[in-house]
Amino acid sequence: MIRKDATAHAVPAEILDPSGGANQVRVRAYNERLVMSLVRRHGSLSKAEIARRSGLSAQTVTVIMRALEAEGLLMRGEPMRGKVGQPSVPMRLNPDAVYSFGLKIGRRSADIVMMDFVGGIRRQVRRTYPYPMPGPLLAFVVEGLAELEAAITPEERARIAGFGVAAPFELWSWASEVGAPQADMDQWRGVDLGAEIASRVPYPVVLQNDATSACAAELVFGLGPQYPDFLYLFIGSFIGGGVVLNSALFTGRTGTAGAIGPLPVQGRDGETVQLLKIASIYRLENLLREHGIDPKPLWYSPDGWIDFGAPLAIWIEDTAAALAQAVVASASVIDFSAVIIDGGFPAWVRERVVAATQAAVARLDLQGVTLPEIVEGAVGSAARSIGGASLPLFSRYLPDQNVLFKELA
Amino acid sequence: MIRKDATAHAVPAEILDPSGGANQVRVRAYNERLVMSLVRRHGSLSKAEIARRSGLSAQTVTVIMRALEAEGLLMRGEPMRGKVGQPSVPMRLNPDAVYSFGLKIGRRSADIVMMDFVGGIRRQVRRTYPYPMPGPLLAFVVEGLAELEAAITPEERARIAGFGVAAPFELWSWASEVGAPQADMDQWRGVDLGAEIASRVPYPVVLQNDATSACAAELVFGLGPQYPDFLYLFIGSFIGGGVVLNSALFTGRTGTAGAIGPLPVQGRDGETVQLLKIASIYRLENLLREHGIDPKPLWYSPDGWIDFGAPLAIWIEDTAAALAQAVVASASVIDFSAVIIDGGFPAWVRERVVAATQAAVARLDLQGVTLPEIVEGAVGSAARSIGGASLPLFSRYLPDQNVLFKELA
DNA sequence: AATTAATAATTCAATTCGATTTATTTATTG
DNA sequence: CAATAAATAAATCGAATTGAATTATTAATT
C-alpha cells in the first residue's frame, strides 16, 4: 500500500468540529471558494498565478475558473503583455455578480445597505430613533427593503445572496445606558429577531453580533489579507469585537468569541471594572454631559463629530489605557498578529485612540508577551452595516473549511 | 506497521494560511485519521457506527477500516450479538500498533517515556539535576533512549512514530527563579534544541512547549472528547497552558497560544502582576522557605507532596484568585466551554486549586461573561511527558484539517 | 527585417483514485 | 420465515492529476 502523504501543518483557519467526513464534491466546493478568495484578496490574478498560489494544478484551476466565469462570478481583464511568453489574462471578481443586504441595528439608528460583490455600498436607507424597539424596527426592515428593491431590476434582484443582520447582544439589558424605559426594552425579550426578519424577507437571513459582523467586514474588505489572525475591536455605544484565526472568522461555540466587553481592567483609580464601562461611546456621552456639553453631535453621524476638547481627550486616554490591558490580556491567550481597532467615530478619533493605545501598551509589563501590532481598522464606521451585508457572502462564497465536511445531525 | 512517508515535521498544529487547495488523496488521509480518532474517542466502534458518526458511506468506511486493520492499527473485537441483524464487530485501536517517545524537560528533572498507541506509559527513565544544562541534557537523551530501546525488540522499534520534546520557553530567562548561575543558563542561548536532539536520535523529532504538550495529552487522552474547545492550564514551576479549538490543538502563529503566564492580574494587595508570579510552584517554594519549611518534598515527586499547612493554603488561595481573573479574561476573548486545570502536584492539591478557583470566579463581576466550566485535568502530573510522546501521533495519526490542504512554499 | 530559440499561459485528452450508489450476502431476533 | 441490521462487492461518478500540445510573446541571432 503506497502512501503519498503530505507534510502536515496547521490548524485551519476557522476552526471546525472535525467530526464529519470529507468527499470530492466538497473538495470542489472548497477549491472554488478558495480560487475566488484569492482573486478577491489580490484584486485580479491570472489562472497560472492562482495555480501557483493554491498549489492546485493548472488544469484544475482552468476548469474551475472557466466554470466561475461562465457563472458570471469572474470577469476576464485585458491580457498582460510585456513579459516573455503568452500573455496572462487577469481575472477579477464581477462586482455585479452578487448583491446582498445588510441591516445594522444601532443605539440611535438602523441602516440597511445594499452591497455589491466587492464591498461597494450601492444604496442605503437609515432610520433614527431614541432607542430601538421591535415593532418599529421590523416595520423599517419591510419599508426600507422595499425602498431599496424598488431601485433594482428583477435580474439584479435574482442575484441577491441574502440578508445579513448585525445586531448587539441582548438589547434588553441596555435599558439604563440607552436611556430607555425598562418596560420598552423588555419587549425585546423573547423576540426571535432572526425568525421575525426571515418571515418578512424573501432572502436567506443570517444574524450575527454587530461587532463580529464588523470584524467580518474587516476580514474580507479591510486588513484581513494582511493579518492571518487578529483581534478586532469595534467601539460603538458599547465596545465589542471579533476574532479571526487563520484568515477565517472564529465565532466560537456560543457565537460570543471576541465579545471582549466583560474583560476586567483597572480604571483610572485602580478599581477593577469591565472594559465596556470605559471604552464605549456611551461613556463619552456621559462625560460630555458632565462637562455641560451637548452630546447630540455624537449621534448625527459618525463623521460629524467635532473636537470636544478636554472630555474627549480624557475619554481617549481612559479608553486607551483600558484597551492596552485588553491587548496584553488577549495576547496572553492567543498570539494574535494584530489588534485592529475601529469604531463609530471619525478617522481622526480612531487615529488618536490607536496612538494612545500603542503608548499605553508600552507602559505595561510586557515580559514574555508576544505583542500584536496595534493598527487602525481600514473599513471605518460603517463596518457593522458592511459586515452585516458580508454575512451572506460567507455562507456562499468565502472559504470555510466546513464546506469540506459533512454536516452531522 | 508504521508508514514510511512522513518527514520530520515542525509542530503539528501551527498556523496555516488556508490558501492551499484540497484533493482526493488528502481527503482519504483526512478520513483515515477521522476514523481512527472516532475509534480512539469511543474506545471501540463498529464500522456501521463510524459510518453514522462520520457521515461517510458504509462502503467507504469498510474500505478505510479494512486498510487500517491490515496495517495493524485497528483490531477487531468480539462480535456483539443480542440485537436484530448481523452482529456488529467492534473495532478498537491496537495499543501495540505504534509507540512513541516523549521527553519532558523540567526544572528539577527530565523524563523520557515510551508510550503506546492508547496513551499507556510502557517504560520511563528519569534524571534529576539542580538545574537543566544543554550538555548533560543531551547526554541523558542519548543514554536514556538507549536504555529504553534496549528493552524492546527490533520489530517494536520499527513501530516507533517519533520522539516528542516538551520543553519550557526560553530556558535561559529562568536563571534567578531556578536558582542557577546566569552564566550556566546562558549556555542555552543559541542552542537549537530540536536540531541537537534530531541529530542524536533516529526518529522524527517534534518540539513543543511543555504546557502546550500537556494540553495535547489532555486533548487526546483526557477530557478532550468532552469539550470541543478549552483553555488548558498547567501549573508547574511556572504556569503555562494551551488552547484547543474545535477539538484541535491551536498553537497560534508563533506557537505561544495559551501561554497565559504574562496575563496581568491583581494580586492580594491590589497590585498588578503577571499571573506566573502568583500561580506557579516556584512561588510556593518561596513561600515555604519564608515559613521556614523545607521545600524539597515539592521536587521528589509530584505525588510526594505533604500537606504544608498554612503556606500551602495561602498559595492555593492566591493562585485561585489569580486563576479566576485569568478565566474571566480568557472567556472574554474566546468562549471556551471549559478551563481545564492540572499541574505538577498531587490530585488532592489539584482538587483544592480547582475548588478555590471556582469559588473565586463566583466573586467576580460576571455580567455578560460566557463562563466556562472549570474542571480538573484527567491526565495528571505526567501530562507533559505524555504530551511530549503524543506529539508524534499528531503529525501522523490524529485529525488535523491541514492534512487536507496543500502546503505552499 | 526575418528567423530561431526560449519561455510562459492555457488547454486537451487520458488516467487515476476515492467516495458513492446499488445490489447482495450474512447473521441474528422474534 | 419475515424483518432487520451489518458488512461488502461491483459498478459508477466526479474531480484532480499527468503529459502533451497549442498559442502568444520576448530575446537573441542572422
User: DSSP of A208-271, one letter per residue?
Assistant: EEHHHHHHHHHHHHSSGGG-SSEEEEEESSSEEEEEEETTEEE--TTS-TT--TT-EEE-TTS-
Closest-CA residue of A relative to B36 is A19
Q: Do A5 and B3 touch (CB under 8 A)?
A: yes
Name all contacts of A16-19 with Cβ < 8 Å and 24+ positions apart: A16/A401, A16/A402, A16/A405, A16/B246, A16/B401, A17/B228, A17/B246, A17/B247, A18/A405, A18/B34, A18/B37, A18/B246, A18/B247, A18/B248, A18/B399, A18/B401, A19/A405, A19/A408, A19/B34, A19/B38, A19/B53, A19/B54, A19/B247
Contact list, B408 vs chain A (CB under 8 Å): 53-55
Which amino acid would we find at residue A273? V
Distance in Å, alpha carbon of B39 to nearest chain A alpha carbon: 12
pLDDT for A320: 98
Chain centroid to Cα A366, Å, comes to 29
| Burial zone of A83 (CB within 10 Å; 0-12 exposed, 13-18 middle, 19+ buried) | exposed
A99 CB neighbour count, 10 Å cutoff: 24
Q: Which of residues 249-268 of A touch B (CB under 8 A)?
A: 250, 252-264, 266
Q: What are phi and psi of B361, to 5 degrees?
A: -60, -40
CA–CA dist B41, B44 (Å, integer): 8
3-state SS, B189-206, equals CCCCHHHHHHCCCCCCEE
Query: Cell 536514556 identifies what position?
Result: B144
**Statement: the CB of A87 is under 7 Å from strand D:** yes
Distance in Å, alpha carbon of B54 to nearest chain A alpha carbon: 5
Q: Which helix (H) or strand (E) holds A391?
A: helix A383-396
Query: Cell 528493552 identifies what position?
Result: B151
CA–CA dist A111, B85 (Å, integer): 59
B2 touches chain A (CB under 8 A): no
CA–CA dist B77, B35 (Å, integer): 16
Chain centroid to Cα A31, Å, comes to 23
**Statement: the CB of A301 is under 7 Å from strand D:** no
Query: Cell 510556593 identifies what position?
Result: B284
Distance in Å, alpha carbon of B77 to nearest chain A alpha carbon: 23
Domains of chain A in sequence order: 24-93 (1.10.10.10), 99-214+386-396 (3.30.420.40), 223-378 (3.30.420.40)
Query: Chain D: nucleotides under 7 Å from a protein CB?
Result: 3-11, 14-19, 23-27
Query: Cell 527530565 identifies what position?
Result: B110
**Statement: the CB of A66 is under 7 Å from strand C:** yes
CA–CA dist A60, B315 (Å, integer): 61
Query: Cell 522557605 identifies what position?
Result: B289
Contact list, B231 vs chain A (CB under 8 Å): 333
Q: Which of B26, B334, B402 sits opposite A10 (nearest CB)?
A: B402
CA–CA dist A273, B365 (Å, integer): 8
Q: Which of residues 93-112 of B touch A (CB under 8 A)?
A: none
Q: Which three cell numbers stand for residue B277?
A: 508570579
Q: Do B333 and A329 touch (CB under 8 A)?
A: yes
Q: Which three cell numbers stand for residue A351?
A: 487615529
Contact list, B261 vs chain A (CB under 8 Å): 332, 368
Q: Do A366 and B262 touch (CB under 8 A)?
A: yes
CA–CA dist B289, A341 (Å, integer): 46
Q: Are strands A109-115 and B248-250 parallel, antiparallel or unpaired?
A: unpaired
When scoring A328, A333, A398 by the number of chain B Cβ atoms within 10 A, the one with the most, hence best to mutate, is A333
Helix/strand/coil for B231:
strand
Q: What are phi and psi of A205, to 5 degrees?
A: -105, 130
Return chain B residues 152..211 having CB < 7 Å to nucleic acid strand C: none
Could you state, in chain order, the average pLDDT of each consecutive group of 10 residues for chain B (409 residues)? 24 32 78 90 90 87 90 88 80 95 94 97 94 95 97 95 94 78 89 96 96 97 94 96 91 91 94 95 94 88 87 97 98 97 97 98 95 98 97 86 50
- The closest nt to B28, taking CA to C1', is C18
Q: Which residues in chain A come in under a pLDDT of 70? A: 1-23, 400-409
Contact list, B24 vs chain A (CB under 8 Å): 24, 27
DSSP one-letter code for B253: T
Q: Which of residues 142-171 of B touch A (CB under 8 A)?
A: 169-170
Inter-axis angle of helices A58-70 and A47-54, nearest 10: 120
pLDDT for B17: 32
**DSSP β-bridge partners for residue B91:** B45, B76
pLDDT for A197: 98
Query: Cell 464581477 identifies what position?
Result: A94
Distance in Å, alpha carbon of B304 to nearest chain A alpha carbon: 31
Return chain B residues 14..73 having CB < 7 Å to nucleic acid strand C: 24-25, 27-28, 31, 55-60, 63-64
Q: Which three cell numbers stand for residue B110?
A: 527530565
Q: Which three cell numbers stand for residue A242?
A: 471579533
Helix/strand/coil for B233:
strand
**B54 and A409 in contact (C-beta within 8 Å)?**
no
Q: Are strands A121-128 and A109-115 parallel, antiparallel or unpaired?
A: antiparallel
**B246 and A12 in contact (C-beta within 8 Å)?**
no
Strand order in the sheet with B338-343: B248-250, B239-245, B230-235, B338-343, B373-376
Of residues B196, B207, B210, the one with CA closest to residue B139: B196
**B214 and B397 in contact (C-beta within 8 Å)?**
no
Closest-CA residue of A relative to B58 is A21
What contacts B77, CB < 8 A, 6 or more positions away?
B44, B89, B90, B91, B92
Q: What are phi and psi of A252, to 5 degrees?
A: 80, 170
Q: Do A7 and B407 touch (CB under 8 A)?
A: yes
Closest-CA residue of A relative to B39 is A19
**Statement: the CB of B85 is under 7 Å from strand C:** yes
pLDDT for A248: 87
Q: Which of residues 313-342 of B touch A (CB under 8 A)?
A: 325, 328-337
pLDDT for B263: 97
CA–CA dist A357, A335 (Å, integer): 18
pLDDT for A8: 21
**A144 and A125 in contact (C-beta within 8 Å)?**
yes
What contacts B372, CB < 8 A, 6 or more positions away?
B230, B231, B327, B331, B335, B336, B337, B338, B339
- For residue A255, give Cα distances in angstroms to A103, A116, A212: 18, 26, 9
**A350 and B267 in contact (C-beta within 8 Å)?**
no
Contact list, B367 vs chain A (CB under 8 Å): 262, 274
CA–CA dist B332, B89 (Å, integer): 45
B271 touches chain A (CB under 8 A): no
Q: What are phi and psi of B388, to 5 degrees?
A: -55, -45
Distance in Å, alpha carbon of B71 to nearest chain A alpha carbon: 9
CA–CA dist B213, B217 (Å, integer): 6
A409 CB neighbour count, 10 Å cutoff: 4
- For residue B88, give Cα distances in angstroms to B46, B61, B64, B81, B161: 6, 14, 17, 7, 31
B308 CB neighbour count, 10 Å cutoff: 20
Contact list, B17 vs chain A (CB under 8 Å): 13, 228, 246-247
CA–CA dist B109, A103 (Å, integer): 59
Inter-axis angle of helices A310-333 and B310-333, nearest 10: 110
**Statement: the CB of B78 is under 7 Å from strand C:** no
Q: Which helix (H) or strand (E) holds A318?
A: helix A310-333
**B252 and B243 in contact (C-beta within 8 Å)?**
yes
**A262 and B332 in contact (C-beta within 8 Å)?**
yes
pLDDT digits (tens, 9 = 90+) for A8-29: 222 222 222 344 666 677 888 8
Closest-CA residue of B relative to A271 is B270
* Region of A23 on the Ramachandran plot (φ > 0 left; ψ -120 to 50 alpha; else beta): beta
pLDDT for A351: 98
CA–CA dist B123, A288 (Å, integer): 69
What contacts A321, CB < 8 A, 6 or more positions away?
A265, A268, A278, A360
When scoring B65, B332, B394, B402 by the number of chain A Cβ atoms within 10 A, the one with the most, hence best to mutate, is B332
Distance in Å, alpha carbon of A143 to nearest chain B alpha carbon: 33
Return chain A residues 21..60 having CB < 7 Å to nucleic acid strand C: 21-24, 46-49, 58-59
Q: Which of residues 345-374 of A touch B (CB under 8 A)?
A: 364-370
Of residues B327, B389, B400, the one with CA closest to residue B358: B327
- The closest nt to A32, taking CA to C1', is D15
